[in-house]
Amino acid sequence: MLRMIVLLLMLSGTALAASGAASLPEDARLAPVRAGLQTCIDSAAAAGLPADALVSKVREGLAKGVDAQRIASAVMRLADDLEAAQRFVTARRPGPAAPGLVRAVAEARMAGLDLATLPSLVAADRPPQPAQRAVEVLTDLSLRGYPVQRALAVVERIEVREPAALDRVPALLDTIRRDQALSPAEAADALARGLAVADSLQGAYRRAVEDERRRDNGKGSSSAGTAVDGPGNSENAPGRLIKVKLPPGQAKK
């Protein structure tokens, strides 16, 4: 019986090591919650969840001086999110869920994204790494203030056409938004329109900028025509002084 227990413990330790389980930091501040945290981490690792994400959350809390009880609560919430993310991914992709993708989906859930917006990004025909990056980019855009559905239209197309360009999407959207003085929704729509006619992200960016400039020029020409007279009129032609009519009875000073 004793040999059987030892063997089971050895196998359990091997499984935890293979699953990438990490150790809690040796920090005295964790003493009141260490046992519970370790149980949570071991359970996550045994379930095939990325337990290192839980340890990272602990380290993050310690670095910020967060109270141990609050750290434990945050880790428990993350463990729940990881479990939900794993169920979400495995329901759409056969076989073991890639830890990186599970973590990305869990972080999206923690950021407030509805998992119902993610199925197209984690579909079975998407390779794990681009799928993970697509979810991470969508989460990033959401946190930057871009409407999720509009950002999703951009990320979906890039994930399929040019997955290597996913990392550049947030910076390009921010550039369009800043340089063209657009709202987040308008910037996302402008890039989506560019992607509808361009084969690459860079081409879509150029098309979006050109379209916005044409739109601004059209507005400028229209307003100019109504606000001031065009060149060639006797009083407003270039090189002529504009005569100012004073009210009756007011003398020139």
Are 93 and 147 members of one domain?
A: no
In a domain, 30, yes or no: yes
Q: Which of 68, 99, 130 is the last residue of a domain?
A: 99
Mean pLDDT of 186-200: 95
In a domain, 78, yes or no: yes
Residue % of the chain over a pLDDT of 90: 72
**What is residue 218's predicted lDDT score, i.e. its pLDDT?**
63
Are 195 and 124 members of one domain?
A: yes
**What is residue 215's predicted lDDT score, i.e. its pLDDT?**
84
> Which region among 52-56, 170-174, 219-223 has the lowest average model confidence (pLDDT)?
219-223
Q: Which of 99, 133, 163 is the last residue of a domain?
A: 99
Tens-digit pLDDT profile for residues 206-244: 999 999 988 877 665 444 433 333 333 333 333 333 444
In a domain, 243, yes or no: no
Are 132 and 76 members of one domain?
A: no
Is the confidence at residue 39, as pLDDT, over 70? Answer: yes
Which one has a higher pLDDT value, 150 or 243?
150
In a domain, 196, yes or no: yes
Are 80 and 116 members of one domain?
A: no
Q: What are the structure tokens assigned to 51, written together?
A: 């337990």
Domain that holds residue 211: 111-221
Mean pLDDT of 10-34: 66
Are 129 and 179 members of one domain?
A: yes
Are 81 and 115 members of one domain?
A: no
Are 86 and 139 members of one domain?
A: no
pTM for the whole thing?
0.74
Are 87 and 124 members of one domain?
A: no
Are 42 and 119 members of one domain?
A: no
Are 115 and 95 members of one domain?
A: no
